[in-house]
Amino acid sequence: MAIDAATVRKVARLARIAEPEERIEPLVQELNGILQWIEQLAEVDTDGVEPLTSVVHATLPLRDDVVTDGGDAARVLSNAPKSTDGFYVVPKVVE
Amino acid sequence: MSELTSLTLKAALEGLRAKQFSSVEITRALIAAVEAARPLNAFVLETPEKALEMAAASDARIASGDAGALEGAPLGIKDLFCTEGVRSTAASKILGNFIPEYESTVTANLFGDGAVMLGKLNLDEFAMGSSNETSAFGNVINPWKSASGGNRALTPGGSSGGSAAAVAADLCLGATATDTGGSIRQPAAFTGTVGIKPTYGRCSRWGIVAFASSLDQAGPIAKTVEDAAILLTSMAGHDPKDSTSLDVETPDWAPFVGKSVKGLRIGVPKEYRVDGMPAEIEKLWQDGIDWLKEAGAEIVEVSLPHTKYALPAYYIVAPAEASSNLARYDGMRYGLRAEGGNLTEIYENTRAEGFGQEVKRRILIGTYVLSAGYYDAYYLKAQKVRRRIADDFDQAWQTCDALLTPTAPSAAFALGERNADPIAMYLNDVFTVTTNLAGLPSISVPAGLDSGGLPLGLQVIGRALDEGTVFSVAGALEKAAGFRAKAERWW
């Protein structure tokens, strides 16, 4: 499953990272190096093995569905790059 | 005042309680040490005014008899922990001047017990690295220098390089750290300090900048095993704000240090004898085996057959979770926002400008292995291998109570030496990453020096929730090794 330049461009697009053209070829090399090294997992017999998704042997706890905080717009917005009148200001999303 | 800075946490707490010195006095001494040690680049933010304010409040509580378990003890905080009103960056440009409006649960626990914060400690960007060379704030320099390596600057390890360097150089009495694949234990081994990653779920992850949520755990880096036990007792505890936080009692771990290891069965996994391991590390491991035998433990050989698959499985699971966790850095709600012609361009430029090379590489790997058509071949396969690795440990616990291994395959290496090849860098975590995948507690204890005079660590791994045995075995190793060496001050 070797990666080519088109795949790197596609993945960068999916990850929303602008990768300049001169980085594409080095990334092809680096990612292929890592993925080839990962391929050794194919040697492990995992037939019938249940995937391990959580090491915590516990069921997720439930809590009452109640409001526990809120009314804190100023604090929520305190790190916003742009905000006005209690709202985030973001670029136009719908043309 | 320099003698105050060289105290262990335990000794400092006793001195504070006995009013031999005040918190303000020891805090002042450590603030001066931090300022003098700027060439190490261990701190990304010093908070001397806040420290003195907290110290004065501690002195008032000591005077009125309301002292907490850590009252007046100055600590360093890894800059992955959000601290209310104090800039928190994860050593990334993308968080910019982020000032949290909230306090992480772990730091809240420490401050609730009276600890004083000296400042925020440097780390690899988003804790992704094994040498502290990916930080947006520059490299941390290891206080130790090799007698055989000229005057070269060495890595303190990573990702908790600032925490390890600060503790090793006596800039704080202890430090918080986090461990996703070895980020507490490997830096501890490289700096002659003690570091423990507890069982997954012991410490709340709430307010810690997320890297790979199913692997991330907080823990302390400290000067002694007992200090690590005191700090972990304060840091751990159930937290309803983290659904993976375990609702179990937190023992007082300090009394486990010094407990006899007589009759304990210590497993030695043969798969940890890797090709090209330096003879000095082989020897140190044998020393550890001999010390525990002399202390009355029984040594048993065990097999963890899937050990060599742990790192490749990790480099699917961790980047996959990271690519999902780091999707939140979109430049809209906090942190950096770059310019762009439309919304997608703003996202892409923000993330291109804000993330460093290694973080981008891992996001791309994670995005690829999770993308349509590859999920089963990579992510699902890795989760199945992860089960195999956890099963290996379960099998080992049939015949032993704890495991003894080296912490890292080498001593601290020179900065810049292993940057060219990402896989060579990843191999640093070969002995530590298995316990993140299985969620088990594991500690690194300084146990000897290599021929160049650099510290080497031994790792003790325990059953889930059995930090007590881990601390007892680590204490026995610490006592037998008699490790007293300190980095010679050059800064």
Q: Where are the domains of chain A?
A: 5-42
Q: Which A-chain residues 6-65 have CB contacts (< 8 A) with chain B? A: 7-8, 11-20, 27, 30-31, 33-35, 37-38, 40-44, 46, 49-58, 60-61, 63
Q: Is B308 a catalytic residue?
A: no
Q: Which residues pair with B458 in a beta bridge?
A: B406, B445
As a whole number, mean pLDDT of residues B352-379 equals 95
pLDDT on residue A1: 57
Q: Which of A87, A38, A32 has the alpha carbon at shortest distance from B333?
A: A87
CB B217 within 8 Å of CB B170:
no
Q: With an 8 Å Cβ cutoff, are A93 and B382 in contact?
A: no
pLDDT value for B99? 98
Tokens of B108: 């809240």
Residues whose CB is less than 8 angstroms from the CB of residue B109 and which lie 6 or more positions away in sequence, other chains included: B234, B235, B236, B237
Report d(CA B441, CA B463) in Å as an integer.
Answer: 7
Determine which one of B183, B204, B245, B323 is catalytic: B183
Quick check: B402 and B297 in contact, CB under 8 A? no
Place of tokens 């640093």: B428
- Residue of B384, B434, B461 to mutate when probing chain A, most A C-beta within 10 A: B384
**Amino acid (1-letter code) at residue B336:** L
pLDDT at B447 over 50: yes
Percent residues over pLDDT 70 in chain B:
100
Residue B1 banded pLDDT, cuts 50, 70, 90: very low
Please list the ranges in chain A whose pLDDT falls under 50: none
Q: What is the SS3 string spanning chain B?
A: CHHHHCCCHHHHHHHHHCCCCCHHHHHHHHHHHHHHCHHHCCEEEECHHHHHHHHHHHHHHHHCCCCCCCCCCEEEEECCECECCECCCCCCHHHCCCCCCCCCHHHHHHHHCCCEEEEEECCCHHHCCCCCCCCCCCCCCCCCCCCCCCCCCECCCCCCHHHHHHHHCCCCCEEEEEECCCCCHHHHHHHCCEEEECCCCCCCCCCECCCCCCCCEEEEEECCHHHHHHHHHHHCCCCCCCCCCCCCCCCCCHHHCCCCCCCCEEEEEHHHCCCCCCHHHHHHHHHHHHHHHHCCCEEEEECCCCHHHHHHHHHHHHHHHHHHHHHHCCCCCCCCCCCCCCHHHHHHHHHHHHCCHHHHHHHHHHHHHHCCCCCHHHHHHHHHHHHHHHHHHHHHCCCCCEEEEECCCCCCCECCCCCCCHHHHHHHHCCCHHHHHHCCCEEEEEEEECCCCCEEEEEEEECCCCHHHHHHHHHHHHHHHCCCCCCCCCC
- Contact between A55 and B439 using a beta-carbon 8 Å cutoff: yes
Which of B200, B349, B367 is the closest to A15 by Cβ?
A: B367
Q: Which of B126, B214, B364 to mutate to test the interface with A (most CBs of A within 10 A)?
A: B364
Q: Which residue of A has its CA nearest to B305?
A: A44
A66 interfacial to chain B (CB closer than 8 Å): no
Q: In Å, how far from its chain's centre is CA B425?
A: 17
Amino acid A58: pLDDT: 67
Distance between CA atoms of residues B59 and B47, nearest Å: 18
Active site residue B120: no
CB contact under 8 A, A34 and B315: yes
Please state, in angstroms and rounded to a whole number, the distance separating the CA atoms of residues B333 and B347. 12
Number of neighbours of residue A25 by Cβ within 10 angstroms = 11
pLDDT at residue B309 is higher than 70? yes
Q: Are B235 and B106 in contact (CB under 8 A)?
A: yes
Distance CA B254, CA B472 (A): 9
Q: Which residue of A has its CA nearest to B362?
A: A31
Strand (E) positions, A1-95?
A: 83-84, 87-88
How many Å lie between the alpha carbon of A34 and the closest alpha carbon of chain B? 7
Let me know: does B78 contact B164? Beta carbons within 8 Å: no
B348 and A16 within 8 Å at the Cβ level: the answer is yes
Residues 6+ apart with CB under 8 A from B309: A40, A41, A43, A44, B385, B388, B389
Q: Which of B22, B58, B131, B159 is catalytic?
A: B159
Size of interface A-B (CB pairs under 8 A): 159
- Do B199 and B464 meet the contact criterion of CB atoms below 8 Å apart? yes
Report the chain A residue with the minimal C-alpha distance to residue B244.
A56
**Any idea which of A8-22, B57-71, B409-423, B456-470 has the lowest mean pLDDT?**
B409-423
Q: Which residues of chain A have a CB within 8 Å of the CB of B204? A: none
- Give the mean pLDDT of chain B: 96
Report the DSSP beta bridge partners of residue B121.
B43, B78
Quote the minimal CA–CA distance from B11 to chain A in Å.
Answer: 36
| Cβ-based contacts of B377 with chain A (< 8 Å) | 1
Q: Which two tokens stand for residue B333?
A: 């709600």
In the predicted model, what is the mean pLDDT of residues B83-88?
98
Taking the C-alpha atoms of residue B47 and residue B86, their distance in angstroms, rounded to an integer, is: 8
Nearest to B257 by CA among B233, B290, B281: B233
What is the 8-class DSSP label of residue A43? Answer: G
What are the tens digits of pLDDT across the range B384-397?
Answer: 999 999 999 999 99
- Using CB atoms, pick whichever of A31, A51, A60 lies closest to residue B243: A60
ipTM for the predicted complex: 0.95
Residue of A nearest to B95 (CA): A79
Residue B262 annotated as catalytic = no
Confidence of residue B49 (pLDDT cuts 50, 70, 90): very high
Closest CB from B201, B383, B385 relative to A56: B201
Residue B2's pLDDT is 56
The alpha-carbon gap from B455 to the nearest alpha carbon of chain A, in Å, equals: 30
